[in-house]
Structure 1
Amino acid sequence: MTLSGFTGTHPRLNGGAMELDYHEFIARLQRYEAEIVPAFTHFQKLKHDLAETRRRELRLDQFKAGVLSSFVRNRLLDQVYLPLIGANLAKQLGAAGSDTRTDRMGLLLLISPPGYGKTTLMEYVASRLGITLVKINGPALGHHVTSLDPAEARNASAREEIEKLNLAFEMGDNVMIYIDDIQHTNPEFLQKFISLCDGTRKIEGVFKGEAKTYDLRGRKVAVVMAGNPYTEVGGKFQVPDMLANRADTYNLGDILGGHEEAFKDSYIENALTSNAVLARIAARSHADALAVLKIARTGTREGVEFEGSFSAEEINDAVAVMEKLLHVREIILRVNQEYVRSAAMEDAYRTEPPFKLQGSYRNMNKIADKIQPLMTDAEVATLIADHYRGEAQTLSQAAEANL
């Protein structure tokens, strides 16, 4: 039998026609069903099982950036820090358009006391950029790790972090390397990143037992480090000079020039979701929460309009809570300023023990959670004192002096 009218090319076609032998066709079809299809199905299963095994080994889900539900994009982030971080990442990753840099380099170094949302902020940025976030846990590395060879790590947790870091180098593109709590690491370990953060963009690594030199020039790779001015034993932590010279350093716990009001208000904005009364306002509109803040600050409702529909009782309760939070914020700010001042002081010039009580967003949120509209000023003062008395219990030394 001859079949005609075919277009295209095929080994069985001759001038647009094909000779068909029915019995031979049925034999080939039966062989296909009996041998080829089961073999292909088995191959697909093996491929799927291998991919799942490798996925579990590499734990790829942990590299997907996720944003906490409690994250607040306050005005300080929106107007101050995100533009600064964006400028640094444009230097490291490149920018869209013809004006992008070809000499990609640099490091983003975030310094602040604990509780200011350094990790949460970078997870948000990585999520919005759509890049892989490889988080390296500084305390898991410890002070003993000075090499990028997993075989030299003293324990399993440190080895896992080094393997994760080398996997990021192996990925080599569209990745953000985020090293958290660098005050717990050895400065010699941080020195390994000096060449990665300059124009050469090279670093030595070891992947699956093989030593490699990774050349990441022109690749979309960002390096971010975050830390606290104090180490876990209370000593001052120093970033290697050559690394610090290559970094854009920002202190999320300090007031940036010209943005004092935005910094102060960020304490309130971050605490909105922690207080049950204010959370109901903020859940409907962040602008309405700022309107409540304006009323509490000025003492007048003239010219203030709300986007949502709230009862007079809801507004009165929210304003009462906000007035108390403004008082709490002033205490928290004074604690924060003392912490930053003490952290910047050389030990040789100290006349008193280091001040290690913290005035962070985390402290503000803990206190805001307990604020009620009917509380008196004395009750609020007692609440603050009890909070810091509890915080002082965990200080290894100088608790009395800090209080």
Structure 2
Amino acid sequence: MELCPELERYACDAPLTERLEGLLGDHPRIAGGGALTVRLDELLARTAGFRDDVVPGFRAYQRLRTSLVDAERGRLRLDDHRPRVMSAFVRNRLLDEVYLPLIGDSLAKQLGTADADRRTDSQGLLLLVSPPGYGKTTLMEYVADRLGMVLVKISGPNLGHDVTSLDPEQAPSATARQEVEKINFALEAGNNTLLYLDDIQHTSPELLQKFIPLCDATRRVEGVRDGEPRSYDLRGKRFAVCMAGNPYTESGEQFRIPDMLANRADVWNLGEVLSGREDVFALSFVENALTANPVLAPLAARSRDDLALLVRLAGGSDPAARAEHLEHPYSAAELDRILAVLRHLLTARDTVLAVNAAYIASAAQTDATRTEPPFRLQGSYRNMNKIAERIVPVMNDDELSAVIDDHYAGEAQTLTTGAEANLLKLAALRGTLTAEQAERWAAISGSYVRNQALGGPDDDPVTRAVAALGLLADRIAAVETAIQRAADPRHLLAGAQGAANGGAVSGGTVNDRPTPGRHAKITNAPH
């Protein structure tokens, strides 16, 4: 069949083959020396085959690969391991100046550094401890996001105390099995991974021992993946381990870390004040509460210097603080509202800090040495935010006190025991204890000490009798010590010297003030 017969035809002497030279690359059609031969007849046949066979096959491969990857992503739940920083996260001065440098130094031991002084023996463990509500998990989400790492979070309560192996088949429940599988997934992923074990006080010490080789220079750990035991060697890989927990449990018995693991860990307490950082720690409660209050929320996106100056203005103790030094152009009405809320917030912060210190001090004691019931109310960032969201500029001191009382009254209702004792202790911390409440607090404390010494009604009678005899022996020993001290010649000599200086040692009233180098003159009181 001839196309376009009306067109004039003529013989063409153009070459149908062309050779290209000087090409760079490793394509199969490029021969040695960088030469490529192109033939017109072969090109048309080859491109037709590419269009009819290769392109459809490649597209089918892409569809199959996408479906398999999506199925595997769903099985591994990869989206759950992407760090997500909370919108309310505040990078306060405490994080910038204290904790991020400390955490960075700890992670540098595990991940290595980019400079020439990089250590070749990656090792270590980051251990964060604090009462609940101080943002341990939020902080690690932020760190993993900034470092561009996969964050594999393991829930301690889901693991429980019964999980002692990294074999998912030995997990007692489906949730525990899932957490063990996530641990093995992190070990399998290896590079660019941050393994984060949260609430380790709910886990077994035997399970924590499995991570000891991972935290020393060997960087090896035994795991189980797809039913097969595997040995993971993480030397030279960008892999880090972080654990977090609350050591201040009611009895302290559930928080046990193997000694060999603790020796390899950098331990930092987010709930305690570091030496010399008291002001920054106190300011962090205000900084973290900004987003919780609608009046103060805009300050979270403004200059940090403005916030520091506003806090000084609200405190009223710095005469050098001037509103004209603020960087943002606040209106007079807006500035008045902000300062009013900040004044109430600083008052609430004092209570929260006192509660936090009392909680930590009480939790650190053993039951045998307590002189009052354990204090279990908490003063964390979370408590501060709950109080801050209820503060308004027109509130007076009595209304603020009522807000604090209502908050901790609700917190006390969630305690299993000791709600009344905890609220009385809170009133004592705030200086609002009435005479009737003080009497009740003294009675509760005395009853607690007595029950600790003699045992409660549920204790064994023999144990209670032995405890009573021990208490009686202690009292007799105290009387004996007092008698021996009174009969001591050195004590009598001191009394005689006091009498020679013009003072009698018998009971009386002081009618002359003591002067340096002399005893006070005491006369007998009339009977």
What TM-score do you get using the length of structure 1 for normalisation? 0.94
Which range moved further: 284-293 or 137-146? Answer: 284-293
Q: 1:309 aligns with which of 329, 348, 372?
A: 329
What does residue 339 of structure 1 align with? 359
- One-letter code of the match for 1:158? A
Specify whether residues 111 and 12 from structure 1 end up closer, same or farther in structure 2 by C-alpha distance, changes over 3 A only: closer
Normalised by the size of structure 2, how large is the TM-score? 0.72
Determine whether 1:280 maps to 2:298. Answer: yes
- In structure 2, relative to structure 1, the CA distance for the partners of 1:20 and 1:107 (3 Å cut) is closer
Deviations 1:27-86 (A, max 9, x none): 444443332222221111111111111111111112111211111111111111111111
Shift of 1:401: 1.9
Distance change (3 Å), C-alpha of 1:30 and 1:255: same
Q: 1:222 to 1:21 in 2, by over 3 A?
A: closer
Once superposed, what is the RMSD of the aligned Cα atoms? Answer: 2.2
| Separation in structure 2 between the aligned mates of residue 369 and residue 278 of structure 1, nearest angstrom | 10
Q: Secondary structure at the match of 2:162?
A: coil
Amino acid aligned to 1:252: L
Residue 398 of structure 1 corresponds to 418
Structure 2 counterpart of 1:6: 20
The more displaced of 359-368 and 240-249 is 240-249
Cα distance change, pair 6–232 in 1 and its aligned pair in 2 (3 A): farther
Q: Following TM superposition, where does structure 1 have runs of at least 4 consecutive aligned residues deviating by more than 6 angstroms?
A: 12-15
Partner in structure 1 of residue 377 of structure 2:
357
Alignment partner, residue 122 of structure 1: 140
Contact 1:201–1:216 (Cα < 8 Å) also in 2: yes
More divergent stretch after superposition (230-239 vs 193-202): 230-239
CA 1:333–1:34 in structure 2 vs 1: closer, same or farther (change >3 Å)? same
For residues 14 and 175 of structure 1, what CA distance do their matches in structure 2 show? 44
SS at match of 1:200: coil
Is structure 2 residue 345 aligned with structure 1 residue 325? yes
Partner of 1:381: 401
Q: Distance in 2 between matches of 1:138 and 1:54?
A: 25
Alignment CA distance shift 1:171-1:13 (3 Å): closer
Shift of 1:13: 7.2
Bigger RCO of structures 1 and 2 (CA < 8 A, at least 6 apart):
1
Q: CA deviation at 1:230?
A: 3.8
Structure 2 residue 78 is the aligned partner of structure 1 residue 64: no
Give the letter for the 1:162 counterpart. Answer: V
What is the CA-CA distance between 1:393 and the residue it aligns to? 1.1
- Write out per-residue CA displacement over residues 174-217 of structure 1, whole angstroms, 9 at most, x where no aligned residue: 11111001111111111111111112111111111110111112
Instruction: Specify every segment of 5 or more residues in structure 2 that has no aligned partner in the other structure, as ranges.
Output: 1-14, 424-527
Q: Deviations over 1:132-187 (max 9, x none)?
A: 11111111111111110111111111111111110110111111111001111111
In the alignment, does 2:280 pair up with 1:266?
A: no
Q: Percent identity?
A: 55
Where does residue 189 of structure 2 map in the other structure?
171
2:387 aligned residue:
367
Letter in 1 for 2:355: V
Tell me by how many angstroms 1:92 deviates: 1.2
AA paired with 1:329? R
Alpha-carbon distance between aligned partners in 1 of 2:233 and 2:365, rounded to the nearest angstrom? 39
Q: Is the Cα–Cα contact under 8 Å of residues 251 and 366 in structure 2 kept in the other structure? A: no
Asked whether the 8 Å contact 2:186–2:193 carries over to 1, the reply is yes
Residue 250 of structure 1, CA deviation = 0.9
Name 1:205's counterpart in structure 2. Answer: 223
Decide whether the 8 Å contact of 1:184 with 1:231 is kept in 2: no
Q: Would you say the 8 A contact 1:3–1:17 is kept in 2?
A: no
Structure 1 residue identity aligned to 2:232? Y
Q: What amino acid is the match of 1:359? A: G
Residues 1:252 and 1:11: Cα distance change in structure 2 (over 3 Å): closer
